[in-house]
Amino acid sequence: MLSITFSAAILLFLLYIAREIRAYYNLKQFGGPWIVGFSRIWLYRSIMSGRMNIHFTELNDKYGSTARSGPNHLMTCDPALIRRMNAVRSSYTRSEWYKGLRLHPTRDNITSYRDEATHMQLRNQMALGYSGKENLFLEQDIDKRLLQLIDLMKSKYTSSSTEYRPFCLARLTTFFTLDVISTVAFGRAFGFLERDEDHFDYINQLNKFLPAVMLFGSYPELQSVMRLPFMQALAPKATDAVGLGKVMGFAKEVVAERFGAKPIVRKDMLGSFLAHGLSQEQLESETLTQITAGSDSSSTAIRMTIFLITTSPQIYTKLMAELDDALNAGKFTRPIMTDAESRQLPYLQACIKEGLRMYPPVTGLLAKQSPPEGDWVDGKFIPGGVQIGWNSWGLMRRKDVFGNDPEVFRPERWFAAEDEEQETAAKRIENMEGVQGMVFGYGRFGCLGKNVAVMELDKAVAELLLRFNFQIANPEKPFESTCIGFFLMQKMIFRLEERTTTATSQDDGARDVLALDDISY
């Protein structure tokens, strides 16, 4: 009996070795560190380093646009491959990585479903709510929260010649986007701006939660462990006083208000989802996803665009001339410009495009799985079932797309150069826009919340720069940042002063507060 057991163990060991050797040779034609052919430890260390964007880009710079990052994993910054994987009729599917995005402990959401039919059905049910076509208050909701942010900055964080009031842009933009997404989604703000504090302990908890999400994506086998009863007991709950559980409780409460004997009826995002057939349980799970994914990516885009502009004197001067000229010419609605008005400002839009390019808000793998029949890239065969991660940071730094200085914040790249032929410039800019637009995903996996994010960005960047002068407090170390799927930033301290221009003289603080109260539904 002992010999039979020993023989079985030897057989299993040999089968394991054979599987590993086969996996190694399946992707041997793709370059990468020697260890990735046998282990996911390089991938794990890169993700947990807090500098995953840099490690992924160094991998592609050294080993090619599509390189090996694990035994059955590739990393790509090839726009053609990304388009092919994400195309509407592509035979690629979501990999096991997406299962790690199941934020609710018992229910999947639109980002964690792997079944293509279920995913597409949910997208179709939710698309109109995200687009704003069935949300009558989308722009008003954003205006309301932006005015609240401006009022807070004026009353509490504006310095003078005799008083210095440090202002953390990272903290306040996070509060702003959290209150925007909760207002836009279901008509009630979390209250971060009103309290000027993280009463959910959201930021601290997110710093702990995101590494776990990335770990479960890279090691899908751990996901089954997390579903065990004793692990479920440790998961966030709607009754928790802080963190993700607190957000779950908030979502559960506002969703419940739309059901029952006297349901609240409102033409907002939640109302649209409900009208298109989402159940109460689905709504709870989806609103949780909206909050976590929609707020952190938008806050990164806003803060980094403002940071890059205000620490680049020549760019700042040129942009402020455009904004002031438009304001003095009466081209802006007051107290808050419309999204349509901000899109008519070419240099502002170039700065926003460049900010998104420099700091693509989402750097997670977003790994797709190659079809059973495999695929070819650059003359190399990819077997079926291979996970291919997306290096967004490297994609936005391709010299063949963005020029020889992709590490430089330079909005001028979005215009024709003086000595450039018009047709050549048009093709170059069109190509850049196609690749840069991928910061919001592509094809059937494109970001549903793009419309909301762009509107927040257009309005917030322009209005905050019109109203305040920003001076970075510590140029040697302007902020602390950890990149782990999203950018977790803190200590981005500025000295603020109100701008004494037409912008402020036409629109004082009292008017801000009045306008805030006047926006109604």
- Give the annotated binding-site residues for heme: 447
Contact 382, 374 (CB under 8 A): yes
Angle at Cα 207 formed by Cα 295 and Cα 183, nearest 5°? Answer: 20
Token code pair at residue 83: 């388009």
Token code pair at residue 356: 């998104």
Residues 57 and 73: their CA atoms lie apart, in Å, by 15
Q: How far out from the chain centre does Cα 183 lie? A: 18
Put residue 385 in one of left, alpha, beta given phi > 0 → left and psi -120 to 50 → alpha.
left
* 383, burial (CB in 10 Å: exposed 0-12, middle 13-18, buried 19+): middle
Question: Residue 272 — φ and ψ, nearest 5°?
Answer: -65, -45
The closest alpha carbon to 310, from 441, 473, 521, belongs to 473
Task: Note every long-range contact of 399-404, with CB atoms under 8 Å and residues 24 or more positions apart, other chains counting.
Answer: 401/79, 401/431, 401/432, 401/435, 402/357, 402/432, 402/435
One-letter amino acid identity for 39?
Answer: S
Q: Which residues are annotated as a binding site?
A: 447
Give the DSSP letter string of 95-164. Answer: -GGGGGG--SSS---TTT---HHHHHHHHHHHHHHHHTTT-TTHHHHHHHHHHHHHHHHHHHSB--SS--
Residues 233 and 226: their CA atoms lie apart, in Å, by 10
Contact 122, 130 (CB under 8 A): no
Token code pair at residue 140: 């008003």
Residues 459 and 341: their CA atoms lie apart, in Å, by 9
CB burial of 347-361 (b: ≥16 within 10 Å; e: otherwise) equals bbebbbbbbbbbbbb
In eight-state DSSP terms, residue 413 is G
Token code pair at residue 263: 């349901």
The alpha carbon torsion through 121, 183, 279, 238 (nearest 10 deg) reads 120
At 494 the three-state DSSP class reads strand
The closest alpha carbon to 463, from 498, 514, 411, belongs to 498
CB burial of 224-261 (b: ≥16 within 10 Å; e: otherwise) equals eebeeeeeeeeebebebeebbbbbbbbbbebbeebeee
The closest alpha carbon to 189, from 129, 128, 147, belongs to 147
